[in-house]
Structure 1
């Protein structure tokens, strides 16, 4: 049975390090705090960010960021980049932050788990996050699953989505097609056929069940074509 996400966080840094109500935080100059390269979340809704900035302007940052000390008075965000961006928009000079010790691998893991826990990642961002842990840090899919509190099939299925053509990944990223539809498209294998089917899904607003029927039809038609 897979661990819960909270368990994954606790295993990485201990329960005190992830308690949002804990008071072990400091105020850091916002100009000395910077986002991580390769952070799992890459898309930020500008309208939602402005709404958060308005709230922060009135109430302040209610939950501290999680950062690590880079030395020289600078800090790198592990969790809370959206709050940091909104705080900058709101004109804040300082932000509350919890400073923890973490190497690159643990920073990446914690960023992944934090975003998964908040359901802040779209399917493509989630898949790319898993890919980073596998390719850059040499973890197996089993190890990734254990560290982020998922099952190995969940990690494997997410990473398989990255085989889709770029245009289809963009549709998945923006929510034009669902993860279930994207998974069904993978069985077509041919990039051109996948792109054409994806356009049909968006145009007709097909459900996953309808997508499965469409894929079956495309494969059947391809099999019936005379070979040259």
Structure 2
């Protein structure tokens, strides 16, 4: 089958199964919907025919454009229909999104894992010594495509072993990348025990604490009591914190994550500071 361009009803389009990128209904989506309402979908989405179905398609590239089109009241979108198997389509999906300006750590993690698995299915040699290590040559290819090192790719893929709640802390910028990689070696129950302490004390582990947790998990078992003791230690670089409940600013930034809300508050403070300076200058 040759690649073809055609208009396709949105109702016949289906998201790519388990695709790693979050399609959020936020201000950027509203802006895209407004642009599509005025100019239409300028760049065709990329789809492939769904197997064993008639005239139904799986989106490879264009999930955001499809959602924005729905919001804009558009019923059909231009599409490039390609003949790709699941693995080839997964590779295209990952590569077509990595150029985005804002990509969450969790998105990179699951995207790299998806591409590594797709490349492995296509014959790339894997490291059979550990089921938790991504295919060696696959990670080298991904690193080359992404312009980074294969070790960085493997470390991102490790993040997929985190429970969703801790991974959200990483996306929100509350846990740094390197400590998060160390925490990914804890088993599920240990991670939930750690999460309980994080929420109870409103704190996150430092790199040193994360490394200790990893070592204790592998050697002697990591009990809730040990986690509580370690997390109660004062960190050398611990700083005084001023906190504002998200509920108080949610109406101003309804779809923001913690990091975006923090940035909004800081910009608002800066604008208000400049306002006070102007007021003071006028009164002189």
Per-residue CA deviation, residues 100-150 of structure 1 (Å, 9 max, x unaligned), is 221100111111111112245421222223333445754524224415714
Match of 1:7 in 2: none
The answer as to 2:107 corresponding to 1:143 is no
Q: How many residues align?
A: 196
Residue 63 of structure 2 is aligned to residue 81 of structure 1: yes
Alpha-carbon distance change, 142 to 196 in structure 1, aligned in 2, over 3 angstroms: farther
3-state secondary structure, aligned to 1:31:
helix
When the two chains are superposed, the root-mean-square deviation of aligned CA atoms in Å is: 3.6
- Give the distance between the partners of 2:56 and 2:192, measured in 1 at CA: 47
The residue aligned with 2:99 is 117
Does the Cα contact within 8 Å between 2:29 and 2:64 map onto a contact in 1?
yes
Q: CA deviation at 1:94?
A: 1.4
> Retained in 2: the 8 A contact 1:168–1:198?
no
Is the Cα–Cα contact under 8 Å of residues 116 and 142 in structure 2 kept in the other structure?
no
Query: Aligned partners of 2:64 and 2:185: how far apart in 1?
Result: 36
Counterparts of 1:164-203 in structure 2, within 5 Å, are 164-183=162-181, 185=183, 191=191, 194-195=194-195, 203=202
Query: Partners in 1 of 2:160 and 2:180 — Cα distance?
Result: 10
Instruction: Check 1:113–1:49 CA distance in 2 against 1; reply closer, same or farther (3 A cut).
Output: same
Q: Which residue, 145, 151, 154 being the options, matches 1:153?
A: 151
Q: In the alignment, which residue of structure 1 is the partner of 2:81?
A: 99
State the 1:158 CA deviation: 0.6
Matched, 1:59 2:54: no
Alignment partner of 1:40 out of 14, 17, 20: 20
TM-score, normalised with respect to structure 2: 0.56
Aligned to 1:4: none
Contact map agreement 2:8 2:79 (CA 8 A) in 1: yes
Give CA deviations for 1:152-186 in whole Å, capped at 9, x if unaligned: 21221011123334421121234443324423545
Residue number in structure 2 paired with 1:49: 29
Contact kept in structure 2, 1:141 and 1:156, CA below 8 Å: no
Encode CA deviations 1:17-64: one digit per residue, 9 max, x unaligned: 9xxxxxx84322222222111112134243332222122112211221
Q: Per the alignment, in what secondary structure is the counterpart of residue 117 of structure 1?
A: coil
- State how far apart, in whole Å, the 1-side matches of 2:54 and 2:192 are: 51
Secondary structure of 2:81's match? strand
Cα 1:119–1:74 change in 2 (3 A) is same
Q: How does 1:20-31 map to 2 (within 5 A)?
A: 25-31=5-11
CA contact (8 A) 2:115 2:142 kept: no
Bigger relative contact order, structure 1 or 2 (CA pairs below 8 A, ≥6 apart): 1
Bigger radius of gyration, 1 or 2?
A: 2
CA shift in 2, pair 1:93/1:193, >3 Å: closer
Aligned to 2:236: none
Aligned to 2:219: none
